[in-house]
Amino acid sequence: MNSLDYQSFAESWESRATIRTRPRRQVEGDERLIYPLSRQPLVLSDTFVRECPHLRDFALVQSLYKFINDVVIFETEIVDRTARAIAKDRFAVRFPFACRYDAMTVVVDEDYHALVAMDFMQQTVELTGIKPIALPAEIELSRAIPAVLALAPEHLRDAVELICVGIAENTLTNDVAAFARDDSVKPSIKGLMADHLLDEGRHSTFWARLTRIYWSQAPEQDREHIARLLPVFIRHYLTNDIQKAFDHQLIAALEVPDHVACALRAEVTAMAWPINHQHPLLGNILRFFRSSSLLDATCVQQVLAEYLPSGSTS
């Protein structure tokens, strides 16, 4: 794809964007879960089920708060920054007006998602009476993107940032889709995720198209240099250090004896996925590499060989 083939989604945004079409989501005081059990393995651990099952809802509410906090950081500090630079034509990779217009709709969407998330958090505090414990000031991307940009030559930093954000947006879209399909949670949560997904599906396509435009025009030397940086980004992006630290804070907030807290910490530490082809998010990353055409390049196939299952490049 080249820039002349790009088709704007402006008309679709006008008629379908959640900021244009969706009502305020209000959290229900029913008996359904406020956060999926599958997304917080701590509450399913042997020790938790045996020693403190009555604290399940507290742990799930805190996990929802972290999820919302992560969304706000991701939307306002990561995606907003890159999309705004593209929209205002302050990006080293130059794009035509149609791309820049769509980038500005992404800015509007993402800031609106953050606003909706903050509203939902406050509603949950008022409904449950449970205040958030200390929430992380950063997400994995807050570390992963600067780490890889520090290794990139100056003329490639914006291109590398574009690819990193594209990976993250496509990963988030699939993550939100799984959340939206979970029938165990409150309808408002499902609705919130479905609204988010409606926009994120458009965004994931946007980032894949822009990456494809850049990649189709990039010199081979630049492609090879960027390819060598991809494993660095993946290693930083797929760590669970921040999640583990939060889970330890959550355990510290539980009213349980010291020996139970110690056992819970041990179980949480053992839950980390290895950063290889078995990691559940790598499938999402691979789909982005395919849709953006990066995986068509031999240099990308070679550097990602240890992360991808056999035959994944075909």
pLDDT digits over 53-67, tens only?
A: 999 999 999 999 999
Q: CB count, 10 Å around CB of 109?
A: 24
Residue 309 has a pLDDT of: 65
Q: Do residues 166 and 87 lie in contact, with contact meaning Cβ atoms separated by under 8 Å? A: no
pLDDT at position 197? 86
Give residue 201's pLDDT: 86
Q: Which CATH class is domain 34-303?
A: mainly alpha
3-class SS of residue 185 = strand
Residue 4, pLDDT score: 63
Percentage of residues of the chain with pLDDT beyond 90? 77
pTM (2 decimals)? 0.92
Residue 13 has pLDDT above 60, yes or no: yes
- Provide the strand spans (E) within 150-281: none
Average pLDDT over the chain, rounded to whole?
A: 92
How far is residue 42's CA from residue 54's CA, in Å, rounded to a whole number?
Answer: 13
Summarize pLDDT for 166-197 with one digit per residue, the tens.
999 988 877 777 777 888 899 998 888 888 88
* Per-residue pLDDT reduced to its tens digit, 228-263: 999 999 999 999 899 999 999 999 999 999 999 999
Give residue 281's pLDDT.
Answer: 84
- Distance CA(33)–CA(124), nearest Å, equals 12
Instruction: Give the pLDDT confidence score for residue 283 in this predicted structure.
Output: 84
Question: What's the CA gap between 116 and 79, in Å, rounded?
Answer: 16
In this model, does residue 218 exceed pLDDT 60? yes
